[in-house]
Amino acid sequence: MSKGKVYLIGAGPGDPGLITVKAVECIKEADVVVYDYLANKKFLDYAREKAEIIYVGKVGGAHTLPQDKINELIIEKAKKGKIIARLKGGDPFIFGRGGEEAEEIVAEGIDFEVIPGVTAGVAAAAYAGIPLTHRDFTTTVAFITGHEDPTKDESNIYWDKISTGIGTLVFYMGIGNLEPNMKKLIENGRSPDTPVALIRWGTTSAQETVVGTIADIAEKARAANLKAPAITVVGGVVSLRDKLRWFDKRPLFGKRVIVTRSREQASDFSALLEKYGAEPIEFPTIETVAPKDWKEIDRAIKNLPKYDWAIFTSVNGVKYFVERLKKHGKDIRELKGINICAIGPATAKAIEDLGIRVDLVPKEYRAEAIIEGLGKNKIKGRRFLLPRALKAREVLPEEIKRLGGKVDVVSAYRTIKPKEKTDDIRKMFQEKKFDVVTFTSSSTVENFVSMFKKGEAAGLLQDVAVASIGPITRDTASTLGIKTNIMPEKYTIPALTEAIVQYFKK
């Protein structure tokens, strides 16, 4: 049996972009991923398809598994020769109990590595616009637990030393003991007027910051109903927040946006939304799969030299068509001499990334504009290949035929409704936890509606802004009783994102 190994991985504070390259490599290698409440679930996407995923989180003192059982679990899996990725929020050796787990691992003679992470105290403060050190304020900083082990006979925190001897104090897990901790600072000589910041869910789009002083921060926290998890920063550097805040000033900060695109295409859209400060919630209502029968596309590939034009109306059409070319032992050279049309810039880029020049991208990214771009007088007698989804609008092929062209419509792929559970998303709608829902095709709208009870979807969207990528999608939504509030002039994902930004600027 191969020898097991444990990676104690710091996953960072919440923003998925703050995980380290080495951490990602270790997750990809692991047979088993054991993760905490504060580790971003997006990191599980890096795990191998057959990896075992085990949640051992703790919320508000309630353990899924107590620490000793977590240690036993890790050791048991490692002794079976498994590679374990022990995924922890922040850094495993800063209030992450990684030291305790490492001791148990060493005692059992199991190999391990520690992958440091960006600790929440540093990252949350930075995202709140608070430098922990600053030559005009302080050159000292201390990390302190705000929630000591209640079974200890006496405190390990030297309040008389830290209260006046350290410039910036960063308390972890201190919301429950906020008031007594602040009193201890005052009792040991710290000025009651010292600035304090509480940062909840730091580095995420749900970040919330409350600022006060040692004297009044507990009262302000109660007024704001601020709960764990949160970092407490005490010191003069907190006064720089108004000048240096950046993260929560972004135009979509705090907005929750539902992305209904397929999982494989959602990430680019989600990344754009995150750039503007939004929290994207991926709820795919569409999935692309291969056609049930390849006969149509195989026949087209065999007859490629006969076509004057190949028209691609989606990135998926390009992807599946090229994959089928390869299955036949062919490559992009087979398209030599054929004019290429792409319905929009994303589709054009997918084609150009293959080394193929695109001859036509219509000014407006929909089927009707392709006819104008081709020129109505240049269609007669020409032969067109249209690889597309099984279910699609018939406007383009019908217009080509009407103008005397010959068109072969071939199914390159199918769009189906994924098996997504709606209970959680329905509850979040009912609790008014969403600001925008986005639809990027007619299928995304139709499937969204069909995933709920009859007539339910329109009601759920009543207090939510609906963003449709273009007029076709908007019209489909309208026929289903859904009003579109946001639509870009250009029918692209970047333009849709910008339209959402402008909507909330009004």
Active site (catalytic) residues: 36, 58, 173
- Closest of 482, 466, 493, 488 to residue 344, by C-alpha: 493
Q: Are 276 and 248 in contact (CB under 8 A)?
A: no
- Vertex 355, ends 352 and 359: CA angle to 5°? 50
Inter-CA distances, 386 with 407, 483, 502, Å: 7, 31, 36
Our CA dihedral for 218, 224, 228, 232, rounded to 10 degrees, sits at: -50
Whole-angstrom distance, CA of residue 182 vs CA of residue 186: 6
Amino acid letter for position 130: I
3-class DSSP state for residue 246? coil
Phi-psi sector, 109: left (phi>0), alpha (psi -120 to 50), beta = left
Q: What is the DSSP string of 393-444?
A: -SHHHHHHHHTT-EEEEEEEEEEE------HHHHHHHHTT--SEEEE-SHHH
The contacts of residue 143 (CB under 8 Å, 6+ apart) are: 94, 95, 119, 121, 170, 172
- Closest of 448, 505, 506, 453 to residue 482, by C-alpha: 448
Q: What is the DSSP string of 151-175?
A: T-SS-S--HHHHHHH-SEEEEES-S
Q: Which phi and psi (to 5°) does residue 481 adopt?
A: 85, 20
- H or E, element range at 53: strand 52-55
Q: Which phi and psi (to 5°) does residue 112 adopt?
A: -155, 160
Whole-angstrom distance, CA of residue 37 vs CA of residue 62: 11
Handedness of CA 260, 266, 269, 270 (dihedral sign): positive
Handedness of CA 450, 454, 460, 462 (dihedral sign): positive
424 token code pair = 């959680």
Q: What is the DSSP string of 251-295?
A: TTTT-EEEE-S-HHHHHHHHHHHHHTT-EEEE----EEE--S--H
Beta-ladder partners of 134: 138
Output DSSP code: residue 90.
Answer: B
Examine residue 229 and say whether the peptide bond preceding it is cis (omega within 30 degrees of 0): yes
Amino acid letter for position 195: P
